[in-house]
Amino acid sequence: MSSLRHHRVIIASLFLPNTAVLGDSAPPTPDESGIQTPGFANQASRQPLLGRAAGPLRSIVEDLRDKTRNPTPSMTPRGESANPFASFPGPTLPGGTLTGAATAAADSLIDALSNKLTGGGSKTPAASGGTSPASNAGRQYQTTHHGSNAGQPRVQRRASRSSGQRTKSRSLSSSRLDPSSHSQKYHFESNPHCNGGLKNAVESVGDRLKRKLWVGTLGTNTDGFRESLRRSMEWRMREERDSVPVWIPDSEFASCYDEFCHQVLWPALHYAVPDAPKTKSFYESASFKQYVAVNQRFADAIVSSYQEGDIIWINDYHLMLLPQMLRDRLPGAPIGFFMHVAFPSSEIFRCLSVREDLLKGVLGADLIGFQTANYARHFRQTVSRILAAEALPKGIQLDNRFIDVGVFPMGIDVGSLTQKKRDPEVAEWVSSLRQRYAGMKLIVGRDKLDVIQGVRQKILAFEAFLEKYPEYQGKVVLIQVALQTTEENEAQGGVADVVSHLNSRFSTLTYQPVVFLHTQDLTFNQYLALLTVADAFMVTSLREGMALRAHEFVECQEKRHRPLILSEFTGSYSFSGFRSCIPINPWDKRGTAKAIHQALTMSDQEATSRWEDLHNHVVTQTAQAFVTSFLVRCLRSNLEHMQSDAISVADLDVGRVLPRYRHSQKRLLLIDFEGTLWQRDMRTIARNAGVSESPSFEPPKEAIDVLSKLAEDPKNEVWLLSGLPVKGSLEIVAEKAPNVGIVAENGCFIKPRPDRGGKANWISMVANFNLTWKAPCLEILQYFTERTPGSFIEEREASVVWRFWTEKTVEDHASDWQWARRQAAEAQNHIFDSLGERYGLRIIPGSTSFLVLPNNISRSTAVGAILHPGGPARSAAAHSVTWLAPEATEDTDTEFDFVFAVGKDEKLMRRLNELDNAETCSTGVKGTDAKWKLDPDQVLPALQRIAETK
């Protein structure tokens, strides 16, 4: 982290953590001195999403308790009504009416409890926001399930997640001053739409990240702001909040955010490609122009603020084009992109009409981060399939640069949350809830009421639980904290009808099985109290990045250790620490019902054991670890990339190399064969493919002569590096140049130089490898060969090559070339998905072919064996396990005082560059890490000049 002290971090997120509010400062609330929790009640109450009927302020749980249990009189809210139906709120039907028993006067649990704690006999509507008497002077904390809306939305969010809702906050309600009025007073408040998890994570590192600059939007209408007001806000936000607002016209933002982000990108990223009639808006959305424009405005704002040494951190799917826009204008800047949500498989992402633009935009970054290894793997495969780029385990290799792809799971600020739990107000709410729910089991959930969050599946599973275990009817309550969404999303989520059906079946005068609360009606203290008293916490998301609310529940259960019911489709579940939850498939309501029963009947010993595993993961995967690891990795990646790009590679100057060559006593010469010494005629090979009596391989005489001449010098050890098979190809080379060592099939086989007896047997580097993958791989490639004109398969002993293009020119066969590339990308993905992980295979794409071979085999590992004193090239008795160990093949010590390598293998070039006495020369057309470069047709003259040197 110390390396970050010298760098300022520019954090680009769609919404700033703070917003500017017109008007005088709002009256102080406990959140101004304690925590700020957008989405939770901390200001004047607004009209809730799930509507209320008019009536006295009461507690919904008061009527859920058995009237025979006489609570302590001092703990009973004053002014309580005797009507048991007056406090059963439920979801709102699309028409705006309440469901089931909620047609009576309905109020939240918190209203009456707040009235009780403040000691008031009656409450005014303005007091219903849950204002608490206690305050905490600690760091402001924002709910990790960020961005629930408050106030009337300026931009309706459809099928969205909770991280970025751009609507008017409570402070931006109609009671606020009109922007066009003469009064230009304004103040700052916490932005209820910002990414709360990101904000908490950045703030959790404290003084270790003092220099930072947020770039984003205010989250409110800005067209009516005068230019003078904008300049004033810019100055104050820069000085007081380390923020730069991005001014975007309201209509442009609405089209980008509402249409493209939430009708196109959001469904695709969460495996929810819409059915007709919405399919047209998904595939033919015209709002991509506005998406580009919004990203461009962010780029302009960042470029104008950028200073040398800054690290640019871009967040989430709203800004996928921004990395490349910045790379074009700031070529040397460290740029990191982090995707907070899920990333789908290539089969889903390829449905997007602008798929290539989005992928190329993201690939402008030095580092691309994801929540889980699965999401990172999906991204690499998608890039390989759509852009035909080389996908490696650590990132993406493009023609001119390498992009790191990593996994950085987000966590919570455990220290801040622990401090907030100790607030006396939390303990008071816990006591009140326990008394009112005495003798009952509580299941708590907190989700948006849209399709992706799976609330409908949760309610159906709870109904199945009550049916299967009737003894729990009247004894278990599901308290669903509902984050605001649009009426359209709520209707699509289908929650209201199932809740109405369930409550009509199982409700009694004193019991309602499902109770809804609203985040705008709860303070964060009250939410923590709910997590503390819960007997189980339930997450049924159909697809989600990291379910940080589950992390909060684990930390709130440090005394009770109650279990967590977690969907298998959340990012959190993919980590081993969260495997101690009770996993569920939310589509399986019977299995989820069994999970609920398991949670409620679990022994204390088992629950404690599971909780300890969960807790150990939560305190390890923290917000601080997320921020520091991502930024340090981003900076390191940029330095590595800039080192390779900063120095222009010069053409090989043989005259400068020869003095070192002359004065060295033991030399190692590594020379590529294909594409360097010899250019293959693909048409001839294609004609002879599969022909049993095809002409025998005839190596070029000039190349054999120069190799033999170099090998005649007793100071030289010459090795030919090739991808060709031994049989029928390199065995002929071995006969014509017996003193030259040969590496065949890209490192699968090695033929050392002859020993004193003149013998030199081929050594298999894959003797202990499972090669049964070849049969299914050939079957897959045969399928694609039949559908790709001119393609053919080269089967080798331990590897397979598929050549999908044999024509010399592309211009005359453009359509065939496009089809062949698409088929090659499909074939690579199919092989990797079905065989890659199972057998540990590596796929190396080329311009007209790709190679499939075992994962731990390459020309670089073969050279490692050559350099290693105990390797097979040194001792025939050497056991393969010894020199194939990673620490052995990565050893850079060597007995040679001069090493010269010429070829196209960049991994080998990087490895040899670690040797002080190595000269590396690339013959490729891509960007290179080699010290020299040379055209392939100049290689033979250069080697002849070296061979003639004495």
pLDDT by residue (tens digit) across 202-221?
999 987 888 999 999 998 99
The residue-averaged pLDDT of 803-827 equals: 80
* Phi, psi for residue 801 in degrees, rounded to 5: -120, 135
- Give the confidence band of 583 by pLDDT, cuts at 50, 70, 90: very high
Out of 127-141, 321-335, 688-702, the most confident range is: 321-335
Can you tell me which residue has the tokens 């029928």? 728
Taking only the tens place, the pLDDT of each residue in 674-700 is 888 888 766 556 555 554 444 567 888
Taking only the tens place, the pLDDT of each residue in 60-86 is 334 333 333 333 333 333 333 332 223
The pLDDT score that the predictor gives to residue 514 is: 93
Given a cut of 70, whether residue 575 has pLDDT beyond it is: yes
The pLDDT score that the predictor gives to residue 160 is: 35
The pLDDT score that the predictor gives to residue 473 is: 94
User: Any idea which of 183-192, 193-202, 327-336, 482-491 has the lowest mean pLDDT?
Assistant: 482-491
Residue that wins the pLDDT comparison between 184 and 488: 184
CB-based contacts of 137, cutoff 8 Å, min separation 6: 33, 34
Rounded to an integer, what distance in angstroms lies between the CA atom of residue 751 and that of residue 732?
Answer: 12
CATH architecture of 2-21+144-407: 3-Layer(aba) Sandwich (3.40)
Q: Give the Å distances, CA to CA, from 96 to 24, 48, 99, 900.
A: 34, 11, 9, 78
The residue-averaged pLDDT of 749-757 equals: 84
- How does the average pLDDT of the chain come out, rounded? 79
The residue-averaged pLDDT of 305-309 equals: 94
Give how far the C-alpha of residue 756 lies from the chain's centroid of Cα atoms, to the nearest Å: 57
- Strand ranges for 343-440 from DSSP E: 367-370, 390-392, 395-397, 402-407
Rounded to an integer, what distance in angstroms lies between the CA atom of residue 430 and that of residue 209?
Answer: 36
Rounded to an integer, what distance in angstroms lies between the CA atom of residue 391 and that of residue 397?
Answer: 6
**DSSP SS3 for 114:** helix
- Give the confidence band of 840 by pLDDT, cuts at 50, 70, 90: confident
Half-sphere exposure of residue 161: CA atoms within 13 angstroms, side-chain side: 29
Domain 774-854 CATH assignment equals 3.30.70: yes
Residue that wins the pLDDT comparison between 746 and 91: 746
Judge whether 83 and 62 are in contact, CB under 8 Å: no
Taking only the tens place, the pLDDT of each residue in 525-546 is 999 999 999 999 999 999 998 8
Q: Residue 674: is it exposed, middle or buried by C-beta count within 10 angstroms (0-12/13-18/19+)?
A: middle
Domain spans of the chain, in order of start: 2-21+144-407, 46-64+105-124+412-624, 651-766+857-947, 774-854
Judge whether 321 and 299 are in contact, CB under 8 Å: no
The pLDDT score that the predictor gives to residue 487 is: 60
User: Any idea which of 77-91, 583-597, 603-617 has the lowest mean pLDDT?
Assistant: 77-91
Given a cut of 90, whether residue 755 has pLDDT beyond it is: no
Taking only the tens place, the pLDDT of each residue in 445-471 is 999 887 888 999 999 999 999 999 999
Given a cut of 90, whether residue 364 has pLDDT beyond it is: yes
The residue-averaged pLDDT of 802-829 equals: 81
The pLDDT score that the predictor gives to residue 769 is: 85
CATH architecture of 651-766+857-947: 3-Layer(aba) Sandwich (3.40)
The residue-averaged pLDDT of 914-922 equals: 89
Rounded to an integer, what distance in angstroms lies between the CA atom of residue 699 and that of residue 716?
Answer: 22
The reply to whether 651-766+857-947 and 774-854 are identical in fold is: no
Given a cut of 90, whether residue 412 has pLDDT beyond it is: yes
The pLDDT score that the predictor gives to residue 805 is: 85
First to last CA, the chain: 53
- Give the confidence band of 490 by pLDDT, cuts at 50, 70, 90: low
Given a cut of 80, whether residue 354 has pLDDT beyond it is: yes
The pLDDT score that the predictor gives to residue 213 is: 96
Given a cut of 60, whether residue 175 has pLDDT beyond it is: no
Count of other CB atoms within 10 angstroms of residue 251: 10
Rounded to an integer, what distance in angstroms lies between the CA atom of residue 689 and that of residue 793?
Answer: 8
- Strand ranges for 352-475 from DSSP E: 367-370, 390-392, 395-397, 402-407, 441-448
Taking only the tens place, the pLDDT of each residue in 20-38 is 988 876 554 333 333 345 5
The listed CATH number (3.40.640.10, 3.40.50.2000, 3.40.50.1170, 3.40.462.10) that belongs to domain 46-64+105-124+412-624: 3.40.50.2000
Taking only the tens place, the pLDDT of each residue in 214-257 is 999 998 999 999 999 999 999 999 999 999 999 999 999 999 99
Residue that wins the pLDDT comparison between 401 and 141: 401
The pLDDT score that the predictor gives to residue 278 is: 61
Given a cut of 60, whether residue 673 has pLDDT beyond it is: yes
Can you tell me which residue has the tokens 């071995």? 734
Rounded to an integer, what distance in angstroms lies between the CA atom of residue 553 and that of residue 527?
Answer: 10
Residue that wins the pLDDT comparison between 564 and 170: 564
The pLDDT score that the predictor gives to residue 125 is: 34
The pLDDT score that the predictor gives to residue 869 is: 76
The closest alpha carbon to 839, from 786, 782, 780, belongs to: 780
Q: Give percent above pLDDT 70 in the chain.
A: 75
The first and second tokens of residue 458, run together, are 């949760």
Rounded to an integer, what distance in angstroms lies between the CA atom of residue 628 and that of residue 311?
Answer: 12
The pLDDT score that the predictor gives to residue 905 is: 87
CB-based contacts of 210, cutoff 8 Å, min separation 6: 5
Judge whether 937 and 902 are in contact, CB under 8 Å: no
Rounded to an integer, what distance in angstroms lies between the CA atom of residue 307 and that of residue 107?
Answer: 53
Given a cut of 50, whether residue 658 has pLDDT beyond it is: yes
The residue-averaged pLDDT of 659-685 equals: 84
